[in-house]
Amino acid sequence: MPVFLFCIFWGGEPVITKDFRINEEIRVREVRVIDSNGDQLGIFSSRDALRLAEEKQLDLVEISPAAKPPVCKIMDFGKYKFEQSKREKEVRKKQKTISVKEVKLRPNIENHDFEVKAKNAARFLKEGDKVKATIMFRGREIVHTQLGQKLLKRLAEQVQDISQVERQPKLEGKNMIMILAPLTPKQDT
């Protein structure tokens, strides 16, 4: 009993739709038939249901194979696949991919350099990206981790109006990392 998985290629990316049995692929004896308007026609043998669909020049599509008896709908399957691919394309268009941008600092950074890094972090946050602030310790600087924490807290305070701290400063090896996420706009309820 073959079940096909339809792939529609749209813009180089395969869009996988739900797998359906159509027309002659439906091998059960009886099916519950729904017409193209959504009205239930009743329980038919699969041959009679297929004949009914062919009279209307449409396809018989098994939409609920687990039901007793399986539910089939009379529809234009090509049109259905096309509309579903359009819907999936719209969903992909509305998705926002959030990337993580990194700002690297040193524990003994000068004020002007810090301001430049803070402006870059603010710009990334305004664009909707997360910011990974990393302080790199070299040699004996690792003894003074409190300087790194102070620096990361200063950065968080500098951009607190457009961000929130997603992950507090934490030492990982010779780097101290803090992650800032952009503030989500509050919606009225």
Q: Do 54 and 116 fall within a single domain?
A: no
Q: Do 141 and 87 fall within a single domain?
A: no
Q: Do 112 and 175 fall within a single domain?
A: yes
User: How far apart are alpha carbons 44 and 32 in whole angstroms?
Assistant: 6
- pLDDT at position 18: 59
Q: Which of 97, 118, 100, 109 is nearest to 136 (CA)?
A: 109
Average confidence (pLDDT) over 24-52 = 85
**Higher pLDDT, residue 106 or 10:** 106
Looking at the chain, the whole-number percentage of residues with pLDDT higher than 90 is: 37
Supply the CATH number for residue 140's domain: 3.30.110.10
Query: Of 61, 77, 94, which one is at a domain's C-terminal end?
Result: 94
Q: Which of 125, 133, 131, 129 is nearest to 105 (CA)?
A: 133
Q: Report angle CA 31, 64, 46 to the nearest 5 degrees.
A: 20
Q: Residue 83 domain-assigned?
A: yes
Q: How many domains does the chain have?
A: 2
Supply the CATH number for residue 30's domain: 3.10.20.80
For 61, the token pair is: 């599509």
Query: Of 94, 115, 148, which one is at a domain's C-terminal end?
Result: 94
Q: Residue 45 domain-assigned?
A: yes
Q: Residue 188 domain-assigned?
A: no
Q: Do 66 and 20 fall within a single domain?
A: yes
- pLDDT at position 96: 74
Q: Which of 128, 75, 82 is nearest to 101 (CA)?
A: 128
CB 85 within 8 A of CB 10: yes
In degrees and rounded to multiples of 5, residue 23 shows phi and psi of 45, -115
Q: Do 147 and 72 fall within a single domain?
A: no
Query: Of 51, 76, 94, which one is at a domain's C-terminal end?
Result: 94
Q: Do 104 and 90 fall within a single domain?
A: no
Q: Residue 46 domain-assigned?
A: yes
Model pLDDT for residues 56-99, shown as the tens digit of each residue? 888 888 888 888 888 888 888 888 888 889 998 888 888 777 78
Q: Do 108 and 172 fall within a single domain?
A: yes
Average confidence (pLDDT) over 117-146 = 92
* C-alpha dist (Å) from residue 27 to 49, 61, 71: 12, 12, 13
Q: Do 11 and 90 fall within a single domain?
A: yes
118: Cα separation from own chain's centroid: 30
Q: Residue 56 domain-assigned?
A: yes
Q: Do 76 and 141 fall within a single domain?
A: no
Helical segments of 17-144, H only: 46-55, 77-94, 111-126
CB 63 within 8 A of CB 73: yes
Average confidence (pLDDT) over 15-30 = 73
Range of the domain at 58: 7-94
Q: Residue 79 domain-assigned?
A: yes
